[in-house]
Amino acid sequence: MMETIVEQRLSIFVEDPAGPWHVVAQHAIVGDPLPAIEGLGVYAQPNPHVQDAGRWMLRGIASNERYATRDEKTRLVAAQEGLGRPESTRAVLIPIRKNAQWWALTQDERRAIFEARSSHISTGLRYLPAVARKLYHCRDLSDTEPFDFLTWFEFAPEDEPHFDNLLAELRASAEWDYVGREVEIRLTRR
């Protein structure tokens, strides 16, 4: 029973040359790169694409929020739009791993870095609704997951420069001192 509920929240990001997303650029920002791929599909398990051995695959689970306050959540819900908008023909997948120092902190210490020092949510809010987002957690799926988070963003082509500004702002923040691995994969919808 529990397994079924978890599976419903699990998404698989898999190399799929004929998949709905075409890779236009892929590079490591921090740490090791991922093998280059041409196309990507995002699927729920079970799916025939996921069974193909040897394909590049990442998995993550939609989870509850950890850091957002009630006030922040109210503002996010009011401003954000969902994935799959017809004009959102660009997407970016950014798998992220945070370091041991981050995970040794307590929840309140992490929240202080995340928002009081880094303004992650207040910065992100300025880019809504142009950028749609979804956060997946990987850390608790196994002891050998390559990343802690898979982050997914969608926007219209004309908003790509704004997205680049958002990345620059976040990557310059104190939170990113704790990022041990980060890969950026830019995609266009076929």
170 binds ligand HEM (CB under 6 A): yes
In the complex, least distance from residue 98 CB atom to ligand HEM, rounded to whole angstroms:
6
Structure tokens at 186: 């830019």
Outline where 9-132 has alpha helix (H): 48-51, 70-79, 100-104, 107-111, 120-125
Residue of 169, 187, 96 lying closest to 136 (CA atoms) = 96
Residue 47 or 80 having the CB closest to ligand HEM:
80
Name residues contacting ligand HEM, limited to 107-166 (CB under 6 A): 120-121, 124-125, 127-128, 131, 133, 135, 149, 151, 166
For residue 113, give the 3-state DSSP assignment: helix
Q: CA-based diameter of the chain, in Å?
A: 45
**Interface ranges with ligand HEM (CB under 6 A):** 65-68, 76, 94, 96, 98, 120-121, 124-125, 127-128, 131, 133, 135, 149, 151, 166-167, 170
